[in-house]
Amino acid sequence: MAGLLRNLLLQTCSRRGSKFSVRHLKMALLSSLRTPGLCGALYYTGTRSISSGTLHIKDSLNFWSGGRVSLKDVKTKSEPVYEPATGRVLCQLQACGAADVDAAVRSASAAFTVWSKLAGMERARVMLEAARLIGKRREEIAEIEVVNNGKSITEARLDVDSARLCIEYFAGQATTLSGQHVQLPGGSFAYTRREPLGVCVGIGAWNYPFQIAAWKSAPAIACGNSMVFKPSPVTPVTAVLLAEIYSQAGAPEGLFSVVQGGQETGSLLCHHPSVAKVSFTGSVPTGKKIMEMASRGVKPVTLELGGKSPLIIFEDTDLENAVRGALMANFLSQGQVCSNGTRVFVQSSVLPPFLKEVARRTKAIQIGDPLLDETRMGALVSKPHLEKVLGYVKQAKKEGARVLCGGEPFIPADPKLKDGYYMTPCVLDGCTDDMTCVREEIFGPVMSVLSFDTEDEVLRRANDSALGLAAGVFTKDVKRAHRVIQNLQAGSCFINNYNITPVEVPFGGYKASGIGRENGQVTIEFYTQLKTVVVEMGDVDSLF
């Protein structure tokens, strides 16, 4: 999920000139200006920022009943959470057990009782205030996201913007919820009501921690539900900031609660009898398990799962734009984006110039401290994940792919970053459809390039996947563009661009890439249930 990265990046560029250049922030050590309840972070003043390796988080990362909650069960084993940029321990995380999950759900149930009775306009006011607070604290939230996730500060700022815009959008939707009136014979009539589900569970992924928390909570609470959110245990830090913001904006206690933990905590949430719906973003195997658990309680699910998306570049394309699109389709967030177009199909006649230019630009990507404005690629999220991605590159070489550039561990010059999880972005040439790098989701900065000759051929090959999250086409032929998109088996498609996901339009996939949609007006249907009411205006016509 790339959020609004490309849109917002272009907006930023237009405001600042033809080249993207952001003012270099002064890097300051964390000082006594820490604000309690904000993970030891600073309110951004425009003159201070966190520097890598300085943030230490000691406050509780769980939040329900209107505040942070320290777990009472001291026997719970804590797990270290690492800062990707430096490899150091950022904090210790304790997973919520059955009693903790039950307390959070009970708090959410109490909030639902109050919140669901408010008018849409009243809910919208709280949401708009939350969006305003996010905008006010943009830099602070972005910096903490970088520390916990490893992505560049430039991207993190855009993620925060996407979260804010999502909440603003669904604040507007909250005021428009309505049913249908149906006239029946004899003056009788029926009407429908859209009613909230109750307590919804959101389970987030580690690649967009703050943005996903907003994308899941905004439609849920706009419809009158409450939400208990479980972040990934790898990136647990920023979701609690959103909980505090909702609370500060005037939401009832428990409306958006945060519980920390891994698989066991997630299972407790899915099985809890008071939970009405589960929304999950993550891998296909985990999504299948969540669907199975939710089915035992006949609970609806929204699943935003993996992708191995095709990006098709025809010979008549604007090659400059195609190269830009391929880079955006593969290297955002160190390649850790589910919708990335990692199978790049290039028509044979333009393959040599494409490869030359894409390799040149990939080599020029600046890797390093993600908190520096000039950095374009930060650290991967964890050491095991880095090793996994590097393993895919090694396997690709064994299977006959040619490495044009990258695919190796990278150690920045700054000594404090020597233990961070960095690698050089990789372009693989000579790939074939049966290679592991083409069949499996790598989830790292690895672009697999394949050649094709005809439209029919590339459509068949592009659709030869169990996944169907996204797809892209670059061509100047408008008829071909729409024809190809119509025949691609993917839920989120792009013509002459890639990874544009405005909050106004639905996002989600076909096949094993998921169920349901996030964002857009249609999402209201996934967070409400429909009640039909039949009103008889005459006498009952009875057979008895």
Q: Is the pLDDT reported for residue 7 higher than 80? A: no
In a domain, 26, yes or no: no
CB-CB neighbours of 192 under 10 Å:
14
Same domain, 287 and 317: no
Residue 523 belongs to some domain of the structure: no
Nearest to 281 by CA among 306, 314, 310: 306
Catalytic annotation present for 304: yes
How much is the mean pLDDT over the chain? Answer: 91
Round to whole Å and give the CA distance between 306 and 301: 16
pLDDT at 68 over 70: yes
Residue 512 lies in a domain: no
- Per-residue pLDDT, 49: 64
Question: Which residue among 282, 305, 328 closes a domain?
Answer: 305
Lowest-confidence segment of 43-57, 187-201, 216-230, 375-389 by average pLDDT: 43-57
Q: What is the mean pLDDT of residues 310-316?
A: 98
- In the chain, the N- to C-terminal Cα span, in Å, equals 59
Structural domain total, the chain: 2
**Which of 49-63, 67-81, 488-502 shows the lowest per-residue confidence on average (mean pLDDT)?**
67-81
Last residue of a domain, one of 287, 305, 323: 305
CATH classification at residue 118: 3.40.605.10
CA angle 383, 157, 405 (to 5 degrees): 45
330 and 288 fall within a common domain: no
Is 502's pLDDT higher than 90? Answer: yes
Over 70: is that where the pLDDT of 148 sits?
yes
Determine the structural domain holding residue 343 and report its residue range. Answer: 310-502
Q: What is the CATH number of the domain that holds 352?
A: 3.40.309.10
Query: What is the average pLDDT across 334-358?
Result: 98
* Same domain, yes or no: 285 and 335: no
- What is the number of other CB atoms lying within 10 angstroms of the CB of residue 315? 15
Q: Is 178 helix (H, G, I), strand (E, B) or coil?
A: coil
Q: What is the mean pLDDT of residues 8-14?
A: 38
Reply yes or no on whether the pLDDT at 6 is more than 90.
no
User: Is 473 a domain residue?
Assistant: yes
* pLDDT confidence tier of residue 17, bands split at 50, 70 and 90: very low
The verdict on pTM exceeding 0.85 is yes
Residues 6+ apart with CB under 8 A from 527: 196, 197, 200, 219, 220, 222, 223, 225, 277
pLDDT category of residue 43 using cuts at 50, 70 and 90: very low
Number of neighbours of residue 77 by Cβ within 10 angstroms: 8
Residue 119 is assigned to a structural domain of this protein: yes
User: 231: closest CA among 191, 202, 264, 271?
Assistant: 202
Beta bridge partners of 181: 191
Per-residue pLDDT at 53: 87
Q: Taking every pair of C-alpha atoms in the chain, what is the biggest distance, in angstroms?
A: 88
- Amino acid identity, residue 106? R
Catalytic residue among 304, 399, 441, 504: 304
The percent of residues above 90 in pLDDT, for the chain, comes to 89
Which token pair is 15? Answer: 């405001």
User: 507 in a domain, yes or no?
Assistant: no
Residue 470 structure tokens: 């996204």
pLDDT at 20: 31
Task: Extract the tokens encoding 497.
Answer: 């661009």
The yes-or-no verdict on residue 31 having pLDDT over 90 is: no
Minimum mean pLDDT range among 18-32, 59-73, 281-295, 480-494: 18-32
For the record, the structure tokens of 152 come out as 């560049």
Q: With respect to residue 352, please indicate whether it lies within any of the assigned structural domains.
A: yes
Task: Report which residue type is found at 272.
Answer: H
Looking up tokens 């909030």 gives: 111
Residue 311 DSSP SS3: strand
Written as one letter, the residue type at 432 is T
Comparing CA positions, the residue from 83, 117, 81, 64 lying closest to residue 254 is: 64
Distances in whole angstroms, Cα of residue 540 to Cα of each of 188, 192, 536, 544: 11, 21, 8, 11
* Same structural domain, 294 and 334: no
